[in-house]
Structure 1
């Protein structure tokens, strides 16, 4: 309440409180938001007014008619006419709004608001003029003005013109109905004060609408940025689970394919290149890898230094996880060769792949990190470190999952810690590509 009076005083004294700025790209949405909210509020207001007039016809006008007061005082008859016209006009607007539904088009919502404002002002002025025939009463006029100011907030400030127009109509009507200059003066002062209050209230409510809209849009943008950042760090399915409030995200996967890629000779490159040039080179390379992984439906897990880890079949199981990783690996080798030619830098990769069960989950509480664990992950890492330059070193388990769709070169048996001698192969190409 204190802030409301402060805003009114600031407007009256010319010290307008600072109002958030609506960006140009938000103007259309703000206008739509205002008009749809206005239509919703007007619908409630018009329903209440229609029901009150129906009740008044039965409980007030009908007894007066039976007692013969309509014949003695013309005002009562005029009031019945006012009520009937009121019910018909407001009912027509309500029926139209009901048929159009809640999801009004922006132009339709604006037109409905534009029609409702003069309609409400018309009935309030008409009733205030009727009241002047028996008493100096502008309470209905004041009530409707303040309701319009508070409930019908429009993006256009042209509504402010309606207040002096309604004031002029009221004063002119009173002067014609009651020739007593003292009455006209007293009603005029009251009406002027009420009209001024309505205009100030309109400005205050409009500023509140702008502030709330800008705050809501800003919060939405910040939430979108946070969601985008979270989805850049974590898979979409995992990010959604964390947003729903899950504290521990751990899953076991029966069958996945895991890929490790490492830049050969990175230490020498780091010694020869400036830090900025080195980071730019890695950024270009890993950005290309990210695009390849996304294109083939493979999940990037993490980068550590010059190493790149990706997997398929996590967080959601897919039947063709081996084919996806194989195509990603071939595309990564081709991309690395292309970037090496374009940059003139000796860029080469070693890639290792294995397939099998794994555990995935989110570790840490302050800085989230999605990771994989298990023998499959360890084996894929060892396949990379024991591989060859510009070759894709894979296990027998991975080769079997690919079937005959890819071409392999048998490397022989490899000594792996904890496993002994295991057969390994080099992935050469996709069978269809080689046949072509």
Structure 2
């Protein structure tokens, strides 16, 4: 029995105070929700003001028609004009830039224009103080339906209506025309209506908070997925792949490819724990990634302790060889600083080649942007047949860099699969 009571209590607590995932403690989400709620409130108040203007016109015309005698018709017209003017002011205020700051005041003004204003007007003009519970209930239900946000405002508008009427009653001390049972019944119905309206708005607002947070979390997840995709693929290729999930292959007639390899890394792996080895490699490659970002160069991939990058694609740039040369020289400096900081003696061997390539994405799973062609093979051979702590370049790259960089002729060397090739060593920039 006690277990059933606790279960029922837990269910009631979940309904009355549903979990909102610590929404109030997350200032970013809370601020975003407040801004969204203000926009929703203002748009709905504009709609309500327009509806109230239309209803006010029809009711004014109706009362002018049903009332007999000129004085009564004039009184009805006065009340109608006063009410419509009040609603019209609220409507214009909703369009004012200050409305976002004072939206709660406009909300209460709209509410009380249909409840308190009419009650005050009829009391002053006709000395008529019968409680207009039908109009009050209609207003409460309409607002809870059209503007179901900020349940505290709804509660204030309801209480304000009651306080206004009690104030008028204290001033005029009217005699009620109907039996007491009628007023008790109307009061209970009004209390039930107001309670249901406020409670429904409260639950609606809790639900909207959950929905808003879920939407924001989905948007953040999509943004993170987008960033992750952009870390794997160039932005142009990622966009193309999303709209065209097929094989992507493009020809580029002039790019410069860089291969870099850490000398002695294989031997080091037998002397160092795998976790420490990976951490060292990650630190070095992160330095290279930062340089690639600085020089606007596209990192292609890492293979073990080898690093591959290219300049001139997917967006063409005329200075692709210069960009790669600058990055290669900065990579040498970064490894030197890394060694000094960590008391290590890593050496880096690099190879550069310039020419045409084919670049694209192939396969169905684990997409990767890659390069193919003789230029890629030559850059790889320049690195593998190079000298530690040196940057070896091919003839095509040399012809572009020779006027602006310090280049030493190494001479002909035998390259596997390509025969003898003229190679050069890049040492620095010319002053």
* TM norm structure 1: 0.85
Structure 2 residue 234 is matched with structure 1 residue 231: no
- Does the C-alpha gap of structure 1 residues 92 and 248 become closer, same or farther in structure 2, counting only changes over 3 Å? farther
Q: Is the CA contact 2:257–2:352 (under 8 Å) kept in the aligned structure 1?
A: yes
Q: Is the CA contact 2:42–2:100 (under 8 Å) kept in the aligned structure 1?
A: yes
What displacement does 1:260 show?
0.4
CA distance in 1: counterparts of 2:150 and 2:247, whole angstroms: 47
Write the mapping of 1:95-110 to structure 2, written as runs, cut at 5 A: 95-98=92-95, 100=96, 104=97, 108-110=99-101
- Does the C-alpha gap of structure 1 residues 428 and 137 become closer, same or farther in structure 2, counting only changes over 3 Å? same
What displacement does 1:124 show?
3.0
Q: Is the CA contact 2:18–2:206 (under 8 Å) kept in the aligned structure 1?
A: no
Write the mapping of 1:142-291 to structure 2, written as runs, cut at 5 A: 142-154=137-149, 157=152, 159-170=154-165, 176=174, 178-180=176-178, 181-244=180-243, 246-291=245-290
What displacement does 1:55 show?
4.3
Write the mapping of 1:278-427 to structure 2, written as runs, cut at 5 A: 278-417=277-416, 419-427=418-426
Summarize deviations over 1:334-385 as a string: whole Å, max 9, x none: 1112212322322011101111111111233332211111111111111111
SS at match of 2:102: helix
Aligned to 1:5: none
What displacement does 1:293 show?
0.8
Deviates more, 1:168-177 or 1:221-230: 168-177
CA distance in 1: counterparts of 2:57 and 2:48, whole angstroms: 14
- Out of 39, 53, 56, the position equivalent to 2:42 is 39
Q: Is the CA contact 2:64–2:77 (under 8 Å) kept in the aligned structure 1?
A: no
The number of residues matched between the two structures is: 411
Summarize deviations over 1:180-224 as a string: whole Å, max 9, x none: 423321221111111111111121221122112211211111112
CA distance in 1: counterparts of 2:200 and 2:168, whole angstroms: 25
- Does the C-alpha gap of structure 1 residues 16 and 128 become closer, same or farther in structure 2, counting only changes over 3 Å? farther
RMSD over aligned Cα atoms: 2.9
Aligned to 1:82: 79
Summarize deviations over 1:390-413 as a string: whole Å, max 9, x none: 110111111222251111000112
SS at match of 2:270: helix
SS at match of 2:408: strand
Structure 2 residue runs without a partner (length 5+): 1-10
- Does the C-alpha gap of structure 1 residues 303 and 13 become closer, same or farther in structure 2, counting only changes over 3 Å? closer
CA distance in 2: counterparts of 1:140 and 1:248, whole angstroms: 67
CA distance in 2: counterparts of 1:243 and 1:368, whole angstroms: 12
* TM norm structure 2: 0.86
- Does the C-alpha gap of structure 1 residues 136 and 339 become closer, same or farther in structure 2, counting only changes over 3 Å? closer
What displacement does 1:81 show?
3.0
- Out of 121, 126, 129, the position equivalent to 2:112 is 121
Structure 2 residue 54 is matched with structure 1 residue 54: no
Q: Is the CA contact 1:354–1:395 (under 8 Å) kept in the aligned structure 2?
A: yes
What displacement does 1:79 show?
4.2
CA distance in 2: counterparts of 1:415 and 1:339, whole angstroms: 33
Deviates more, 1:402-411 or 1:302-311: 402-411
What displacement does 1:126 show?
4.5
